[in-house]
Amino acid sequence: MEIFGSTFDDSVFEESRNRDLFTDLPAYTPKTCEPEWFCHYEKFEDELDEQKTMKFRADLKYRKKQYQEAIDDYTVCLPLVPNNNLSMKRDVLEGMARCYRHLGKSGQALEICEKLRNEATNTCHLTCVLQLEQSIHEGCGDVMSSISSLKQLCSVHPFNPWYWLNLATSYQSLLEKNTSQTPQAFIQQQQEEKEARLKACMCFIRTRLLIEILKIQQFSFILERSMKTLQAIEASLQEMQLKEETLRLISKVMAEDLNPEKMREENQDGEGLSSLTIKDFEERWWNKLHACLLMKENTVVSSDKELETG
């Protein structure tokens, strides 16, 4: 007894058996280009061809540190970019901003950043702008503005340890810059240094907590980098000479939102800005930590008074 569908007519396969397996394929000759062909290429087929050529030239000149020449080519390229090619437009503008940064023209570079920020539509765009702004501020020695950009990066990407690490080292450099001339300025400086030291410590501890979570999934040179970073963080925390009780309190506050489920839920990479909620850095972390530290100090003061009166 044959099961229905278990047998086939041989004629079904006859066509495939007789098929010519060696059919002639059309000849294909790959296009070859000389190295850096675009440097001397002047016969443009259309605006798109010219746009790509000028972009290649500008990128190469940027790599060769010919920043003014790169700006000239980027400037020619920009109006050739179609209005619907937003990624290319952003790439050209970012290239121009980086050139201005290297030339020491931070004003022109920041103007382009502002334009890019206004046209940003998702967190990836915003992240690129903030990173660019931060590098510009850092390049011209504006530590406070660099810190501002890093705080925004930490707010957009609260679980990225490297933004927190950069913010911590920026607060450290701020401590090194402080100088005072008068007694009043000295008192103000002491207050600012105390806050900067606590914020640096806060950021170092947040970095350490994040790396400890992420290193479980790491190996090879990535894990090695994480371990070296943890060692450097421990050395920096020891230099700050904060009390162990203060360090434990900072760790407790900075770890409140660090669990795998919450971290997955709050991942905002690529999210549109129209629906994005970015919590203020000071409100989310520093104000909460500062309130806890003040409460601890008041508790200690109250205990001391009770002992004195007792």
199 and 114 together in one domain: no
Average pLDDT over residues 38-65: 90
165 and 221 together in one domain: yes
Average pLDDT over residues 54-62: 96
* CA dihedral of 102, 107, 113, 115, whole degrees rounded to 10: -140
154 and 65 together in one domain: no
- Using one digit for the tens of pLDDT, what is the confidence trace for 97-149? 999 999 999 999 999 999 999 999 999 999 999 999 999 999 999 999 999 99
Task: Give the pLDDT confidence score for residue 181 in this predicted structure.
Answer: 64
Task: Give the pLDDT confidence score for residue 228 in this predicted structure.
Answer: 97
252 and 207 together in one domain: yes
- Using one digit for the tens of pLDDT, what is the confidence trace for 221-269? 999 999 999 999 999 999 998 999 999 999 999 999 898 777 776 766 7
62 and 109 together in one domain: yes
Other residues' Cβ atoms within 10 Å of the Cβ of residue 140? 15
- Using one digit for the tens of pLDDT, what is the confidence trace for 171-203? 999 888 766 666 777 778 888 898 999 999 999
The rounded distance, in Å, linking the Cα atoms of 262 and 264 is 5
- How confident is the prediction for the chain on average, in pLDDT? 86
Number of structural domains (the chain) is 2
Whole-model pTM? 0.82
Q: Which two tokens stand for residue 16?
A: 């495939």
The rounded distance, in Å, linking the Cα atoms of 238 and 140 is 30
DSSP class of residue 46 equals S
71 and 146 together in one domain: no
- Residue 76 belongs to a domain: yes
Strands (E), the chain: none
Task: Give the pLDDT confidence score for residue 42 in this predicted structure.
Answer: 78
Task: Give the pLDDT confidence score for residue 61 in this predicted structure.
Answer: 96
44 and 115 together in one domain: yes
153 and 110 together in one domain: no
50 and 167 together in one domain: no
150 and 225 together in one domain: yes
96 and 56 together in one domain: yes
Instruction: Supply the CATH number for residue 108's domain.
Output: 1.25.40.10
Which residue range forms the structural domain that includes residue 71? 39-121
DSSP class of residue 291 equals H
Q: Say if residues 154 and 164 touch (Cβ distance below 8 Å).
A: yes
Q: Say if residues 76 and 54 touch (Cβ distance below 8 Å).
A: yes
- Residue 83 belongs to a domain: yes
Element (H, E) at 61: helix 47-63
DSSP string spanning 220-240?
Answer: HHHHHHHHHHHHHHHHHHHHH
